[in-house]
Amino acid sequence: MTSEALSGRNIASAAAPGSRRGVPAIELAGVAKSFGSGAEEVKALGPLDLAIEAGSFVAVIGPSGCGKSTLLRLIAGLDTPTAGTLRRGGAALDGPSREVGIVFQDHVLFPWASVLDNVMLPADVLSLPKQAALERARWLLKLTGLEDFAGHRPHMLSGGMKQRAAFCRALLADPQILLLDEPFAALDALTREELSLELSRLWQDLGRTALLITHAIDEAVLLGDRLIVMSGRPGRIRLDLPIDLPRPRDVNTEKQPRFLEIKQTARALLFDREKD
Ligand code: ADP
Ligand code: MG
């Protein structure tokens, strides 16, 4: 992905609720989620309070099974909490929204459709203006270095390229909020680092709110400007720390003493499960 200027490639996204000054893009109050009932009940998450400022990049890290994906699904409006309230841009959450783009660990591209058609998928679902969507899709593919693969089927792409296509699709409707659930987990270490730095640049260019779920400490500290460390299940917030590292971030960021310090703090908490 290159950081070229973002000129006029916005699909009209009027009165974006996440961008109102002073209003958190995402706000959770006393949110908890359980699955099942009675003896079968699994307390998956919370209760937790969390306010995410518009335009910030929040990285959430926590042990496996602590409710990270559950948290993301709740914020996406794909699931409802057992207790508490969620707001996006100051308004009570009302199911999925075009203002939210999601990228999962698995790229979930349709194998029979071209890369361009895969990226264009939300255009139909969300009834976006066709021509503007097509223009934006092509622009996103260019931005992520996939322009020559627009007509290819997904199986002809590497893992990293498939995940880039998934990012393009999530960004098609120009969402205010980008939710990322371990988007690099299935990639090799080198591609993972390369792609996370590209994401960091893309996020800076787009100026949207991002929430990244990961279990990789390096990735969380490299990308976020705020780090949240969760406890074991039911996941609650154990640490909420600003990541005061300069941007743009690059491979040298990982060598900075402050990077190592934050990483060490998070690691110590993650391995100290006694207090959960
Ligand atoms: P993480 O993403 O942190 O690994 P999840 O949010 O996927 O964790 O899951 C948290 C807990 O909730 C786990 O114990 C999991 O088994 C349970 N869980 C998640 N989704 C469901 C579901 N749809 N039905 C029942 N249990 C679920
Ligand atoms: Mg998960």
pLDDT tens column, 170-188: 999 999 999 999 999 988 9
pLDDT (0 to 100) of residue 275: 57
Query: Which atom of ligand 1 lies closest to the CA of 213?
Result: 2
Nearest to 139 by CA among 229, 11, 269, 275: 11
Three-state secondary structure string covering 240-274? EEECCCCCCCCHHHHHCHHHHHHHHHHHHHHHCHH
pTM value?
0.91
Q: Residues with Cβ within 6 A of ligand 1?
A: 35, 42, 44, 62, 64-70, 233
Tokens standing for 267? 């690691």
Q: Where are the domains of the chain?
A: 23-99+176-275, 109-174
Contacting residues for 38 by C-beta, under 8 A, at least 6 apart: none
How far apart CA 80 and CA 73 sit, in angstroms, is 8
Q: Which fold has domain 23-99+176-275?
A: Rossmann fold (3.40.50)
HSE, CB side, 13 Å, CA atoms: give it for residue 237.
19
Report the residue among 69, 102, 214 best suited for mutation to probe ligand 1: largest number of ligand atoms under 8 A from its CB: 69
How far apart CA 4 and CA 147 sit, in angstroms, is 15
Sign of CA dihedral 119, 204, 270, 40: negative
> For 240-260, what is each residue's pLDDT tens digit?
999 999 999 998 999 999 999
Residues in the chain: 276
For 65-117, strand residue ranges (E) read 83-88, 91-92, 100-103
pLDDT (0 to 100) of residue 125: 87
pLDDT (0 to 100) of residue 273: 63
Q: If you measure from the C-alpha of residue 96 to the centroid of ligand 1, how many angstroms do you get, rounded to a whole number?
A: 19
Residue 258 CA, chain-centre distance (Å), reads: 24
Amino acid in the structure at residue 19? S
In the predicted model, residues of the chain with pLDDT beneath 50 are 2-8, 12-18
Residue owning the nearest CA to atom 1 of ligand 1: 65
pLDDT (0 to 100) of residue 210: 97
Q: Are 117 and 109 in contact (CB under 8 A)?
A: no
